[in-house]
Amino acid sequence: MKKQQAGFTLIELAIVLVIIGLLLGGVLKGQELINSAKVKNMVSDFKNTQVYIYGYQDKYRALPGDDANAVAHLGAAAIQIPVSATGAGNAVISGAWNGGANGTLPATESGAFWQHVRLAGLAPGPTSGTDANYYPTNADGGRIGVQSVSGFSGPTGLNGAYVICSAAILGRFAKQIDITLDDGETSTGSVRTYKTGETNWSTTTGAGAVDDSTTYNVCMAF
């Protein structure tokens, strides 16, 4: 006589499905929390860089990177850009925010900016311009930089004296950053988004066209 083959009851199947659902929900919630923390970290980068500038100005009455008396203020190790070369001391942080490369001594005011704020005790990070980790990066590994709006070749129409940019940010994060810091529209206001590798935002890189999985540069003027 054949034995009956045992199987799962409907109750057992229901319990298994509930457990799977809970596990999936936990994974998705965990990923959501990680992404939220990443955006908060990126937002902090923009806010902290403003503090570095204002703190340095308050302490030395000069702009970091543009300080014509950097050696006197910070010591012999300070990178002091020649006045004759870039107009040091003219209240302009010259040079592209993403210029230069790690391991190469910064030859621009935007490059020297990071050493000045670090030697002043305002920001963490290496003070040697030849250090492989000299230039700061965001939570996704994209370059962070600052320069004056007057020489900026990115998004036009920005109001303010300085602009901070953070590179290689996924579109879905760029939108959240804009909502947190500005008007939620990535092609207007003080925060603008444009595709990595391009020099400006356009009708194809505006808010309505920002793709969640494409990387962008996010810039904030102040």
Report the domain count for the chain: 1
Residues spanned by the domain of 207:
39-221
Whether residue 103 lies inside any domain: the answer is yes
Q: Do the beta carbons of residue 93 and residue 110 sit within 8 Å?
A: yes
Q: Quick: pLDDT tens for 155-211.
A: 888 899 999 999 999 999 999 999 999 999 888 899 999 988 776 666 555 555 788
The alpha helices in 136-193, defined as continuous H runs, are 171-181
Higher confidence at residue 5 or residue 51?
51
Q: Quick: pLDDT tens for 38-81.
A: 999 999 999 999 999 999 999 999 999 999 999 999 999 999 88
Neighbouring-strand partners of residue 204: none
DSSP 8-state secondary structure symbol assigned to residue 9: -
Whether residue 12 lies inside any domain: the answer is no
Residues 6+ apart with CB under 8 A from 67: 56, 60, 73, 74, 80, 88, 89, 116
Structure tokens at 27: 């994974």
Q: What angle do CA 192, 198, 200 make, to 5 degrees?
A: 40
Q: How confident is the model at residue 165, as a pLDDT? A: 97
Whether residue 32 lies inside any domain: the answer is no
Q: How confident is the model at residue 4, as a pLDDT? A: 57
Residue 222 CA to residue 218 CA, distance in Å, equals: 14
Q: How confident is the model at residue 48, as a pLDDT? A: 97
Whether residue 138 lies inside any domain: the answer is yes
Q: How confident is the model at residue 195, as a pLDDT? A: 87
pTM: 0.83
Whether residue 2 lies inside any domain: the answer is no
CATH code for the domain in which residue 47 is found: 3.30.1690
Whether residue 59 lies inside any domain: the answer is yes
Amino acid in position 205: T
**Would you say residue 98 has pLDDT above 60?**
yes
Q: How confident is the model at residue 39, as a pLDDT? A: 94
pLDDT band at 35 (very low <50, low <70, confident <90, very high): confident
Residue 167 CA to residue 204 CA, distance in Å, equals: 18
Whether residue 4 lies inside any domain: the answer is no
Residue 159 CA to residue 221 CA, distance in Å, equals: 6
Whether residue 34 lies inside any domain: the answer is no
**How distant, in Å, are the alpha carbons of 112, 130, 138, 190 from that of 106?**
6, 8, 20, 27
